[in-house]
């Protein structure tokens, strides 16, 4: 598989990611039929503990699958990372495409959704993860393209710093309101105490997100756009210089 052309690899990644997106959308259709027959919304309906754990583990398994497709298609770590970015982005976008086709949801790009469960509840308007994934797909495709040209297509140290800093800002924008809500109601005695864990479950079923931290999200998103621009400019210069070297 490592010798496939770029277009062949992208076709495999797309088929895998889109199929995963449909499977996840199908699971959501079943869950909403069980828990939200009148339509999804906040506050959340308390789930059976076994189903809640299953959902948590399903999301962890999804991440393993997205990494695995990169390991199957590529040898170099930077290319594995690039495949992960592209597959994650396509999976996330088509997940919403299929939900729109199957359920007519979301009603708009500003509709609130549960985005992720690890390590805590991520919430935000649908447009936010879509914006993230567009940058992921673009950066992943660029890395794969230039890597296929024989260039050292990895990110520079400064680009990695910006990428990680941006990811942290985006992560905080998704989780800050829920974390603040939980901590404001937390009992003394430690987060991992049995009583506090029960309280977290109860409070999660009462949580209604009201204020998305757009300034945090946009700061992180701008950092990622900057990485995309810096990487493109640097790698193009590297490619031009490689053409000028005597062969």
Segment 156-208, tens digit of pLDDT? 999 999 999 999 999 999 999 998 888 887 655 555 555 556 666 777 778 88
In this prediction, residue 38 carries a pLDDT of: 86
**Other CB atoms within 10 Å distance of the CB of residue 119:** 9
Closest CA to 137 of 209, 89, 73: 89
Domain boundaries, the chain: 6-244
pLDDT in tens, 14-57: 999 999 999 999 999 999 998 999 888 888 888 887 888 888 89
């Amino acid at each position: 598989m490592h010798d496939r052309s770029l277009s062949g690899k992208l076709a495999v990644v797309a088929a895998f990611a889109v199929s995963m997106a449909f499977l996840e959308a199908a699971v959501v259709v079943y869950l909403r039929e069980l828990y939200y027959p009148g339509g999804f919304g906040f506050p959340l309906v308390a789930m059976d503990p076994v189903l809640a754990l299953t959902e948590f583990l399903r999301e962890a398994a999804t991440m393993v699958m997205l990494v695995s497709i990169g390991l199957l298609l590529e040898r170099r770590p930077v290319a594995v990372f690039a495949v992960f970015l592209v597959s994650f982005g396509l999976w996330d976008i088509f997940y919403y495409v299929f939900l729109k086709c199957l359920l007519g949801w979301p009603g708009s790009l500003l509709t609130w959704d549960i985005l992720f469960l690890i390590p805590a509840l991520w919430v935000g308007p649908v447009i936010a993860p879509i914006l993230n994934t567009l940058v992921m797909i673009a950066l992943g495709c660029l890395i794969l393209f230039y890597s296929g040209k024989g260039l050292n297509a990895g990110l520079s140290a400064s680009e990695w710093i910006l990428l990680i800093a941006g990811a942290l800002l985006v992560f905080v924008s998704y989780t800050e309101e829920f974390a603040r809500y939980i901590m404001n109601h937390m009992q003394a005695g430690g987060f991992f105490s049995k009583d506090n864990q029960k309280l977290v479950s109860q409070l999660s079923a009462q949580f209604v997100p009201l204020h998305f931290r757009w300034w945090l999200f946009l700061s992180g998103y701008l950092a990622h756009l900057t990485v995309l621009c810096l990487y493109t400019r640097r790698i193009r210069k590297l490619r031009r210089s490689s053409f000028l070297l005597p062969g």
